[in-house]
């Protein structure tokens, strides 16, 4: 059993909120804006300041450094100054002896706003043209010519909603000051280096004074990539102001009100295709609701633009990308990072084409897939290598008995009025690497102690994806040691500096490789030393350095297996002989680049492929759906750990199915988030998983994999997109109500509410 798992199941695992606090610690809290867009005319914090048990109430005026926390673009204030631009924007910070006192103090703060007219929807933003940054375009071929030569043309609009990450552990920070300017921060962050950087900037101190540490986080899904910086910086400000340790553990509702969500998109499209259903032209405009500040919106839009094709070769293609500023909270990274929205659009179009041509949608998908020898270049010029689309399709088409089931579904729909079924097969092709190429780097520090135990430091964050289990396995394997001898250290900016976020599914690709490189350096020295030891024994046969292997806690001359020495003994002797027992590893993904101006390049190290077939049952009268069966076949390369990868695929799919069905974010007319707790924001429960759920990993290509750590592939994000099989199966069931003669109105999420309203427009009860 894995050590990490044992800790979880015995309740030993410590999250930031579980770290024993120093006795004098204070609780931090946030007073945030209740207006979507307003000028702050007046405020009074004096009563709150003098409330017993309150140690600090801070405004932007109390910020010692720069009042700025934008991760890419400097357009995000740490604390509001004279204006607020969304509900949930922090204005004041409070430190008190406990939460209760902080809440009482908050009530004593008075503030006067003068309201301005907010922008509260993407439609409104488009109307008022509140573009956040210049629009972007990626284009290949000729749209006008393409449409002229298309036999059929369809146009439409797709709306996709926001999604709340709903990590179980809300944003948490414990900040403690040290000597002078030193600040130690335990933060539930996916990106310790950025948390360090922004905290230092806001505190006005050098980065070398700030140490950010994190052992594990209770789920993240992108929601702690930039959004953890806020809590950390706020706690650090309060800590600095009071001289006492400060903890902020966001209350669930506050977390949902303050922190960003998945970007809602409004997608306008035109597609031209022939009688066969082969798409020849695709013209699409991706409009995204960036919220009040930029955050990662540009990178998210870029990934959306690079995934607008999903698995399909389209000769004439034009993708326009626009991010609009609204008075919503700052939308941010979430699993898939823009790709799901764009992929939903093209997958929906395929279903529309199928309905239009009265053909099967899976068949249309297959015809449009990227091919191996030709039609294999994406719209941004990267060749789709190791393409497994056709292979996976054939396999899952058969194993899921797609065609047979579809037939029986059609029969069922003929015979039933108030219950309908639907089925859909959808693929994913997902590019792996940060599209900002320089981010694809990682570091590691591997240490062997004199007792023969190993401590591995790397820059990645364990957030449930099993990164540390994978890294430990890599280290154990490379050193030929029992896993029990390997410990993974908490991630710490003082150990591994200048790291990238654990994001874009790259955690084990980048950090795994960095760890291996560090280990290789140490091993090289130990191998040389071992060879010297073996040769000093005056054997007639010389031990060659290249023949040394690390196996089952021993160092062995593989050419002369009787020559061996235990790892522990070798380490001790190496120490005595003044040979270094630790080293760093540094890795950068090779040969990737992307020219943003031209919209071309090779932004991805490789692609991940997968497919799913889902069948659903729809209650026409209540709009409720049940996923009856899902088959998934997913490509993890040569899996680093099949159990973990299966878990990622299963969990990603269910998170995606929540996005497609029950996870609904509504705002009222004033810009208040209505679904700010699990009372009204509904993520899937165990009852919502497919009744028959078959998840399988593709194992047919053990050797034809990219040059990655142990030939594995990233697995975090791509399975999320397989949930569109559920979404489109629902659409099939709806459209069967009018025998597939009309195109139902359809959006994300397909809540029972949206389904009922769609059905209402199709028939008259």
Partner 1 sequence: MENSSSNSIRFLLNDLLYKIDFSDNKSQIKPTTTLLNFLRTQTNLKSVKEGCAEGDCGACTVVMGETEHNEIHYTPVNSCLIFLPMINGKQIITTEYLSEKKDDKQILHPIQSALAETYGTQCGYCTPGILMTMFAIYKNYSDPDEKTIKKLLSGNLCRCTGYLPMLEAVRKSSKNREDKFSQKEKATIEILKNIKNHSTISIKQNSYSYHIPCSLNDALDIYNNNPEAIIINGATDTAIRQTKNNEKLFNIIDISHIEELKYFRKDNDNYYIGAGLCIQKLLGFLKDTITSLYDTLEYFGSWQIRNLATIGGNVSTASPIGDTLPVLISLKSSVKLKNITKERIINIEDFIIDYRKTSLKKDELLTEVIIPKTPDNNIIKSYKVSKRKELDISTVSTCFNLSLGANNVINEIIITYGGMAKIPCRAKSTEKFLTGKKWCKENIKEAGKILFNEFEPISDARAEAMTRKIICRNLLTKFWSENQN
Active site residues: 717
Question: What is d(CA 171, CA 682) in angstroms, rounded to the nearest whole number?
Answer: 19
Q: Does 268 bind partner 1 (CB under 8 A)?
A: no
Token pair 């809602």 in the structure block, residue: 264
User: Least distance (Å) from partner 1 to the CB of residue 123?
Assistant: 17
Q: Treating both helix axes as pointing N-terminal to C-terminal, what angle do 3-10 and 467-479 enclose, rounded to 10 degrees?
A: 140
User: Least distance (Å) from partner 1 to the CB of residue 586?
Assistant: 28
Beta bridge partners of 619: 419
- Do 587 and 441 contact (CB within 8 A), yes or no? yes
Please identify, among the stretches 35-43, 131-139, 216-224, 493-501, the one whose residues bind partner 1 according to the rule CB under 8 A. Answer: 216-224
Residue whose CB is less far from partner 1, 448 or 463: 463
Q: Treating both helix axes as pointing N-terminal to C-terminal, what angle do 507-536 and 567-576 enclose, rounded to 10 degrees?
A: 70
Q: Which residues, 452 to 471, sit near partner 1 by CB under 8 A?
A: 463-466
Strands 246-249, 26-32: parallel, antiparallel or unpaired by DSSP?
parallel
Q: Which two tokens stand for residue 491?
A: 């991630």
Q: Does 751 bind partner 1 (CB under 8 A)?
A: yes
Alpha carbon of 318 to those of 126, 270, 321, 344, 369: distances in Å?
19, 10, 10, 17, 18
Q: Which residues, 530 to 559, sit near partner 1 by CB under 8 A?
A: none
Beta bridge partners of 279: 273
SS3 state at 336: coil
Beta bridge partners of 272: 153, 281
The DSSP secondary-structure symbol of 180 reads T
Residue whose CB is less far from partner 1, 161 or 464: 464
Q: Does 753 bind partner 1 (CB under 8 A)?
A: yes
User: Least distance (Å) from partner 1 to the CB of residue 762?
Assistant: 13
Write the interaction track for partner 1 spanning residues 170-189; mark x where CB under 8 A is met and - where it is not: x-------------------
Element (H, E) at 126: helix 122-127
CA 535 to chain centre: 52
Residue whose CB is less far from partner 1, 498 or 643: 643
User: Least distance (Å) from partner 1 to the CB of residue 530?
Assistant: 33
Write the interaction track for partner 1 spanning residues 473-512; mark x where CB under 8 A is met and - where it is not: ----------------------------------------
User: Least distance (Å) from partner 1 to the CB of residue 596?
Assistant: 33
Residue whose CB is less far from partner 1, 169 or 557: 169
Strands 419-432, 606-619: parallel, antiparallel or unpaired by DSSP?
antiparallel
Q: Which residues have CB under 8 Å from 324's CB, separation 6+?
A: 119, 122, 125, 126, 130, 131, 132, 287, 288, 289, 290
Residue whose CB is less far from partner 1, 443 or 623: 623
Q: Which residues, 605 to 624, sit near partner 1 by CB under 8 A?
A: 621-624
Question: What is d(CA 231, CA 175) in angstroms, rounded to the nearest whole number?
Answer: 10
Residue whose CB is less far from partner 1, 18 or 360: 18
In the sheet that holds 692-697, the strands lie side by side as: 419-432, 606-619, 625-634, 692-697
User: Least distance (Å) from partner 1 to the CB of residue 756?
Assistant: 5
Phi, psi of 569 (to 5 degrees): -70, -40
User: Least distance (Å) from partner 1 to the CB of residue 246?
Assistant: 16
Out of 208, 685, 704, 741, the only residue in the binding site for partner 1 (CB under 8 A) is: 685
Residue whose CB is less far from partner 1, 704 or 757: 757
Out of 51, 653, 659, 746, the only residue in the binding site for partner 1 (CB under 8 A) is: 653
Q: Does 765 bind partner 1 (CB under 8 A)?
A: yes
The site that binds partner 1 (CB under 8 A) totals a number of residues, namely 81
* CA 160-166-171 angle, 5° bins: 125
Q: Does 216 bind partner 1 (CB under 8 A)?
A: yes
Out of 158, 217, 640, 733, the only residue in the binding site for partner 1 (CB under 8 A) is: 217
Q: Which residues, 10 to 49, sit near partner 1 by CB under 8 A?
A: 10-15, 17-18
Q: Residue 636: CA atoms inside 13 Å, Cβ hemisphere, count?
A: 24
Q: Does 680 bind partner 1 (CB under 8 A)?
A: yes
User: Least distance (Å) from partner 1 to the CB of residue 35?
Assistant: 20
Residue whose CB is less far from partner 1, 1 or 576: 1
- Answer whether the bond into residue 35 is a cis peptide, omega within 30°: no
Please identify, among the stretches 178-186, 504-512, 560-568, 645-653, the one whose residues bind partner 1 according to the rule CB under 8 A. Answer: 645-653
Out of 646, 730, 733, 748, the only residue in the binding site for partner 1 (CB under 8 A) is: 646
- Concatenating the DSSP letter of every residue in 3-65 gives HHHHHHHHT-PPPGGGSPPPTT-EEEEEEE-SSSSEEEEEEE-HHHHTSTTEEEEE-GGG-SS
SS3 state at 536: helix
Question: What is d(CA 563, CA 534) in angstroms, rounded to the nearest whole number?
Answer: 7
Q: Does 738 bind partner 1 (CB under 8 A)?
A: no
SS3 state at 527: helix
Out of 577, 643, 704, 741, the only residue in the binding site for partner 1 (CB under 8 A) is: 643
Q: Does 159 bind partner 1 (CB under 8 A)?
A: no
Q: Which residues, 221 to 260, sit near partner 1 by CB under 8 A?
A: 221, 249, 251-253
Q: Does 763 bind partner 1 (CB under 8 A)?
A: no
Q: Which residues have CB under 8 Å from 96's CB, separation 6+?
A: 26, 27, 29, 51, 53, 54, 55, 102, 105
Q: Which residues, 394 to 423, sit near partner 1 by CB under 8 A?
A: 417-418
Out of 693, 742, 745, 762, the only residue in the binding site for partner 1 (CB under 8 A) is: 693
User: Least distance (Å) from partner 1 to the CB of residue 102?
Assistant: 10
Q: Which residues, 326 to 345, sit near partner 1 by CB under 8 A?
A: none
User: Least distance (Å) from partner 1 to the CB of residue 677?
Assistant: 6
- Concatenating the DSSP letter of every residue in 641-660 gives -HHHHHHHHHHHHHHHHHHH
Residue whose CB is less far from partner 1, 682 or 742: 682
Question: Where are the alpha helices (H) located in 243-387, listed in sequence order?
Answer: 252-258, 297-306, 339-357, 361-368
Q: Which residues, 88 to 117, sit near partner 1 by CB under 8 A?
A: 98, 100, 103
Q: Does 515 bind partner 1 (CB under 8 A)?
A: no
Handedness of CA 590, 596, 598, 603 (dihedral sign): positive
Q: Does 757 bind partner 1 (CB under 8 A)?
A: yes
Residue whose CB is less far from partner 1, 308 or 695: 695
Residue whose CB is less far from partner 1, 144 or 760: 760
User: Least distance (Å) from partner 1 to the CB of residue 1?
Assistant: 5
Q: Which two tokens stand for residue 109?
A: 């703060």
């Amino acid at each position: 059993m894995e050590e990490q798992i044992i800790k979880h199941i015995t309740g030993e695992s410590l999250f930031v909120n579980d770290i024993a606090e120093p006795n004098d610690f204070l609780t931090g809290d946030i007073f945030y804006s209740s207006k979507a867009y307003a000028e702050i005319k007046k405020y009074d914090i004096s009563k709150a300041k003098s409330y017993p048990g309150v140690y600090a109430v801070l405004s932007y005026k109390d910020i010692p450094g720069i009042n700025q926390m934008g991760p890419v673009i400097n357009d995000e204030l740490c604390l509001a100054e004279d204006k607020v631009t969304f509900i949930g924007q922090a204005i004041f910070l409070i430190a008190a002896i406990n939460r209760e006192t902080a809440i009482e103090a908050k009530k004593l703060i008075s503030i006067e706003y003068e309201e301005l007219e907010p922008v509260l929807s993407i439609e409104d933003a488009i109307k008022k043209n509140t573009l956040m940054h210049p629009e972007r375009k990626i284009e290949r071929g000729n749209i006008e010519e393409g449409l002229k030569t298309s036999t059929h043309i369809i146009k439409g609009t797709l709306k996709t909603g926001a999604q709340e990450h709903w990590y179980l552990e809300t944003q948490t920070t414990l900040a403690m000051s040290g000597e002078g300017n030193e600040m130690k921060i335990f933060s539930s962050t996916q990106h310790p280096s950025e948390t360090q950087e922004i905290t230092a900037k806001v505190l006005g101190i050098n980065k070398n004074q700030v140490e950010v540490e994190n052992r594990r986080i209770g789920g993240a899904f992108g929601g702690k990539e930039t959004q953890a910086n806020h809590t950390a910086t706020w706690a650090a400000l309060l800590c600095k102001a009071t001289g006492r340790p400060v903890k902020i553990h966001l209350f669930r509702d506050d977390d949902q009100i303050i922190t960003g969500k998945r970007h809602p998109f409004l997608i306008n499209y035109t597609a031209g295709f022939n009688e066969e259903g082969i798409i020849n032209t695709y013209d699409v405009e991706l409009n995204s609701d960036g919220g009040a500040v930029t955050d990662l919106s540009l990178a998210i839009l870029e990934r959306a633009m690079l995934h607008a094709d999903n698995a399909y070769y389209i000769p004439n293609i034009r993708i326009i990308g626009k991010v609009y500023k609204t008075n919503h909270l700052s939308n941010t990274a979430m699993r898939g990072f823009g790709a799901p929205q764009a992929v939903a659009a093209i997958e929906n179009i395929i279903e529309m084409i199928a309905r239009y041509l009265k053909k099967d949608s899976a068949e249309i998908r297959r015809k449009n897939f990227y091919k191996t020898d030709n039609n294999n270049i994406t719209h941004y010029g990267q060749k789709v290598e190791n393409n497994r689309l056709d292979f996976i399709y054939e396999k899952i088409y058969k194993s899921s008995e797609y065609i047979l089931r579809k037939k029986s579904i059609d029969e069922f729909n003929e015979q039933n009025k108030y219950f309908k079924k639907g089925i859909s097969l959808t693929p994913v092709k997902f590019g792996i690497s940060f599209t900002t190429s320089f981010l694809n780097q990682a570091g590691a520090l591997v240490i062997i102690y004199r007792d023969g135990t190993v401590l591995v430091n790397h820059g990645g964050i364990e957030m449930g994806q099993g990164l540390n289990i994978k890294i430990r396995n890599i280290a154990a394997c490379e050193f030929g040691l029992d896993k029990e001898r390997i410990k993974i250290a908490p991630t710490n900016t003082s150990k591994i500096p200048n790291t990238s976020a654990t994001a874009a599914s790259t955690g084990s690709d980048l950090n795994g490789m960095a760890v291996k490189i560090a280990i290789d350096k140490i091993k090289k020295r130990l191998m040389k030393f071992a060879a010297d030891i073996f040769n000093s024994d005056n054997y007639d046969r010389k031990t060659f350095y290249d023949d040394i292997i690390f196996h089952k806690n021993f160092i062995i001359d593989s050419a002369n297996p009787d020559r061996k020495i235990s790892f522990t003994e070798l380490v001790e002797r190496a120490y005595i002989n003044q040979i270094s027992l630790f080293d760093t590893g540094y890795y950068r993904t090779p040969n990737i680049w992307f020219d943003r101006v031209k919209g071309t390049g090779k932004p991805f190290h490789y692609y991940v492929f997968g497919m799913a077939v889902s069948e659903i049952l729809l209650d026409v009268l209540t709009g409720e759906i049940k996923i009856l069966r899902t088959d998934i076949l997913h490509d993890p390369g040569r899996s680093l750990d099949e159990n973990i990868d299966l878990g990622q695929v299963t969990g990603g799919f269910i998170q995606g199915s929540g996005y497609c069905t029950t996870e609904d974010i509504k705002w009222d007319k004033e810009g208040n988030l209505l679904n700010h707790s699990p009372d009204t924001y509904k993520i899937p429960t165990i009852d919502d998983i497919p009744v028959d759920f078959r998840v399988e990993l593709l194992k047919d290509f053990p050797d034809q994999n990219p040059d990655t750590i142990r030939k594995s592939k990233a697995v975090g994000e791509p399975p999320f997109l397989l949930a569109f099989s559920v979404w489109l199966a629902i659409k099939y069931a709806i459209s069967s109500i009018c025998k597939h003669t009309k195109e139902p109105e359809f959006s994300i999420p397909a809540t029972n509410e949206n389904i009922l309203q769609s059905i209402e427009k199709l028939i008259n009860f």
